Amino acid sequence: MNPVERALRALDHAQQHHRAAGMVVGVIKKYGDDRGGLLAALITYYGFVALIPLLLLLSTVLGFVLHGHPHAQQAVVNSALTDFPIIGDQLRQNVHSVQGSGLALVIAVLGMLYGTLGIAQVLQHAMAEIWNVPGVVRPGYWPRLARSLLLFTVLTVGLLLATSAATLVAVALTGPAARIGALVLSALVNTALCLGCFRVLTPKNVPTRALLPGCLLAGPLFTVLQAFGALLVAHQLRHATAVYGFFATVIGLLSWLYLNAQITVYAAETNVVLHRRLWPRSILQPPLTGPDQEVLSSIARQEERRPEEQVSVDFEDEEEESEDGEPPPAG
């Protein structure tokens, strides 16, 4: 054993015997096992595709409803973009009402349906992958569609509550107290909204209390990202905006959406690891720990596609080798 491997083995042994470190490694390992980066990228893509048509449709509907009240229309559009730091300013300048253009309105509606239904389907797929639900028991198209509509309802109610709460804090408080109160209230609303969405997206056999740890982590992180994302985006785009213009803004928007998607996926992975006690995991293998084998077995069984298909998993002892030095065939 070389010095590097010896040091890594010592680190691995230490994290397996410390609860907090073991849980953190367990979440990171589970994220990698489920290809969490790919899931977050899919969520980001459909989130981006849904965002612009949604804002376009919002502006158009407001153009009809608040006709003759341009200041009220602009105020509502601005409030809808407050959660997009730096990028929100660019979107305000480029999202305009398509009032009077039926074709543009139809395109906006179709684009919104494609993006919103796509992100709802991807979120359901991500949760099924994270919880390793076998394909044979995953819901069909119509149940997924109904769940998507329920998800939109939860999000709409949550956003309305968040806007109302922020307005109430702004009216009741002033100065730094208002800022702190708004952040605390935003964290609470984001946590509750995350819990509601996770409840809709997660398989019914998972108790609601198992979804709370990840939401308690994600809610404040969403708030921090909303509040201080401006600094991050401004740092990344400080020179790029002058060169690439609106393309840099698009890159910044994608980066911001990807961070939100990463928080969502990691929060769900945290729920799975804590609920199923999937730690300690081994950094260097062999040997495999019990949670290692449980995760690998779940990943294999989730590939079942038909009721008559049964997937079983066996693990050979690492010490057992054939005479030619090759591992024995799987039983």
232 or 206: whose pLDDT is higher? 206
pLDDT of residue 1 exceeding 80, the answer is no
203 or 174: whose pLDDT is higher? 203
The residue-averaged pLDDT of 251-279 equals: 92
Distance CA 186, CA 220 (A): 8
Distance CA 34, CA 32 (A): 5
> For the segment 310-323, what is each residue's pLDDT rounded down to a tens digit?
999 999 875 554 44
Distance CA 243, CA 210 (A): 47
Distance CA 225, CA 217 (A): 13
278 or 46: whose pLDDT is higher? 278
Give 30's pLDDT tier (boundaries 50, 70, 90).
very high
Give the pLDDT confidence score for residue 321 in this predicted structure.
44
Give the pLDDT confidence score for residue 69 in this predicted structure.
59
Kindly state the percentage of the chain with pLDDT values over 90.
44
> Which helix (H) or strand (E) covers residue 46, if one does?
helix 36-65
Distance CA 5, CA 16 (A): 16
CB 135 within 8 A of CB 304: yes
Give the pLDDT confidence score for residue 163 in this predicted structure.
66
> For the segment 284-304, what is each residue's pLDDT rounded down to a tens digit?
888 899 999 999 999 999 999
pLDDT of residue 17 exceeding 60, the answer is yes
Q: What tokens appear for 215 in the block?
A: 């939401």
> For the segment 32-54, what is each residue's pLDDT rounded down to a tens digit?
999 999 999 999 998 888 877 76
326 or 255: whose pLDDT is higher? 255
Residues 261-274 as b/e (b if ≥16 CB within 10 A, e otherwise) read bbbbbbbbbbbbbb
Residue with tokens 């996770």: 198
Long-range contacts of 286-294 (CB under 8 A, 24+ apart): 286/318, 287/318, 288/315, 288/318, 289/16, 291/26
Give the pLDDT confidence score for residue 42 in this predicted structure.
93
The residue-averaged pLDDT of 164-183 equals: 71
Give 233's pLDDT tier (boundaries 50, 70, 90).
low
pLDDT of residue 207 exceeding 50, the answer is yes
Distance CA 231, CA 70 (A): 31
121 or 102: whose pLDDT is higher? 121
Give the pLDDT confidence score for residue 298 in this predicted structure.
95
CB 233 within 8 A of CB 256: yes
The pLDDT mean for the chain works out to 80
194 or 78: whose pLDDT is higher? 194
225 or 235: whose pLDDT is higher? 225
Q: Where are the domains of the chain?
A: 31-301
- DSSP character at residue 327: P
